[in-house]
Amino acid sequence: MTQPKQPFLPLAGLTVLELPGRVELAVCGGLLASLGATVHVIEGTPRHPARYRTGKQTVHPRQADDIALRADVILASPDVCLFPVRSREDTIRCEITAYGNSGPLAGRPDSEALVQARAGIADTTGRPEGAPCLTGAPFVGMETALYAASAILAALRHRDATGQGQRIDMALYDVAVNALLTFLPLAFIGAEARRAGNRHPTLAPWNAYRAADGWVLICAPTDDQWRRLCGVMGRPDMALDPAYDTTTARFRNVAALDAAINAWTGAHPVADVVARVGAAAIPCGAIHALTDLAGDANLLHRRSLVPDEDGKFLVRNPIRAIGYDVPPVEGSSTPPLPKPARPRAMADIRVLEIGMNTVAPLACRHLGALGAEVIKVEPPTGDSNRVNMPLRDSDGQSYVFALSNTDKHGIVLDLRAPDDAAILWRLVDTADVVIENLKPGSLSRLGFGADAIRARRPGIVHCSVSGFGHDSAWPGRPALDTVVQALSGAMAATPVDGMPTKAGISIADQLGGQFGLLGILAALYWRDRTGSGVTLDIAMQDCTVWATQSAFDALEPGARLTTCLNGWIAVEAPVDMAHLSRDAALKACTARGQAVAPVLSVAEVLAAPQTAARALLLEVPTADGSHWTVLGSPLKLSATPARVRSAMPRLGWPDPLVTALTASTREAHDA
């Protein structure tokens, strides 16, 4: 008889005390509980939605000191609630606040909405010709909780190696500034980095279109995709029209282009549009209403949603380990795992990144900052982000690529060439982690699928991040950030003038990378105790539904955006400030005791004293003698700080470490 699968619970035996405070604490505690930790939450904690209390143990405040003295981790948010407890020297204390414990804004108990305003998120969300917007779900807070869980796991691995506890200083502001990555290049070159609605800042067609019975998202930015879309629409003439026959021409004439596509989609139901466009291998999807998620084929296939007793849905942790059951939502009573026999810090971890664009590169730049040795494997043409506009005038290198790829070594390999494939196998033989975010099946066809790698290296951690997962109702379906936002309820959560609207920041891409980071750290924690490797299958759709889940609940209205003579403010009370300047409006609201923040542009955020105080922009060198301005890490650990030290050089620049490594493994293999 086949034994039922057990869930993947790498944190079994870990004790966490969640003190009263921000909802982000509750979200972080929920992530740790879903990975097996025993999480105690203090009775009387602010009444966050019930979904964030699931799987935790409620304790009386009088028990807090006793639990704190045996807790491995304490979660606190001192900007909104001071709840002192005693703790041991080896305890990990993670504080989540609006602005962190340094800088001129330290200690302000601002809400997510006010942070979105002050950190440029609101100014980059909404229609180009319209007002700035707050996102309909608290994506900055969800990302902060996710990063906090990763920082905790990194700190625990260090504690296991040294016996040393530490403090973690997580700020919503730091995470929000990091989320602006795709907007920063425009600000760096002096261009205006502003909201683009559902359009892409530089590519077309890429937008939400009204169908006969709803909304559909279509992204066909390449010349080949555009020609195929013209064929699907029965408009082959448009593919040949000089107004649309190049990327530049299409973007220049985007209004007429979108009108033509809208004319076609408007004559067909959503299902028909998605079927026909999808059959042409063009990224597309229905824009789900929140109520549609329960019937989504892929979410059903992956068992991502769990109905609760109130008829609402709980969302499982998106980290899926192959060979294990889906993560529980009710917590765990699994006995503790043994202590690691050979504890290691992140500096002893080698990671192979086989990825493009945002997802795997995001996970790996944080692993690199935490001390891991990251080797990025690129094809002869390079990561596609190397040609992502704008390019630097001095050398033609891409700002986005530099921002996305810090603290990494690099090697160029053509995996179709036997000699290069052999080099990759030699690198795999020395690696602790492999992460990839290519189209599902791509690496398997080249002989480097998860099964082949784990068969050769059973103790390795293999992480795949894709739009809809390898175990999917839609295997091989192409995915882009905006398509995943559409299919995850994220766009429906932010309606603007009746139109579902994407978050300006690339939340689906970012969340995929962030869950990849957390999954890898959890799998390494598991391997330290069991010696077993893990294969992770993470779907960006699962990740984005997880981050959207607060929109399922009927919440009290929060801050709203109000226009001023020369800008906007976010204020947590209805006010009329149209007759005042922004500075005067801020002073007036503050004098009334109203929580308020300015809506800042990306350029203003980059120049803000808080950004400098938190070291969120750094100048770092490259191996080929250049330098870049890049993002500082939002992971602020006191004893093992995440340090961003370098950016990657131009494609093909010889890396001494990788050259020596491949040479030594070749010699060992030949011997």
Task: List active site positions.
Answer: 509
Return the bridge partners of 59, or none.
Answer: 42
How many Cβ atoms from other residues are within 10 Å of residue 69's Cβ? 13
Burial class (CB in 10 A: 0-12, 13-18, 19+), 57: middle
Residue with the two structure tokens 């990990």: 92
Q: Which helix (H) or strand (E) holds 656?
A: helix 656-670
Q: Crossing angle of helices 656-670/418-428, nearest 10°?
A: 90
Helix, strand, coil percentages in the chain from 3-state DSSP, rounded to 5: 40, 15, 45
Concatenating the DSSP letter of every residue in 125-193 gives SS-TTS-----SS-HHHHHHHHHHHHHHHHHHHHHHHH---EEEEEEHHHHHHHHTTTTHHHHHTT---
On whether the CB atoms of residues 290 and 489 are closer than 8 A, the answer is yes
Return the bridge partners of 496, or none.
Answer: 499
Tell me how long the chain is. Answer: 671
Concatenating the DSSP letter of every residue in 64-96 gives HHHHHHH-SEEEE-TTT--------TT-EEEEE
Long-range own/partner contacts, residues 383-389 (CB < 8 A, 24 or more apart)? 383/355, 383/356, 383/357, 384/356, 384/357, 385/356, 385/357, 385/358, 385/361, 386/651, 389/185, 389/202
Strand, coil or helix: 466: strand
Return the bridge partners of 18, or none.
Answer: 41, 75
Which amino acid type is present at position 662? T
Distances (CA, A) of 5 to 177, 244, 324, 473, 621: 41, 53, 5, 21, 48
Cα atoms found within 13 Å of the Cα of residue 605, Cβ hemisphere only: 34
Q: Distance between CA 73 and CA 94 in Å, rounded? A: 7
Cα diameter, the chain: 80
Torsion, Cα 528 530 531 532, to 10 degrees, reads -110
Q: Distance between CA 205 and CA 95 in Å, rounded? A: 43
Phi, psi dihedrals of residue 307, rounded to the nearest 5°: -70, 140
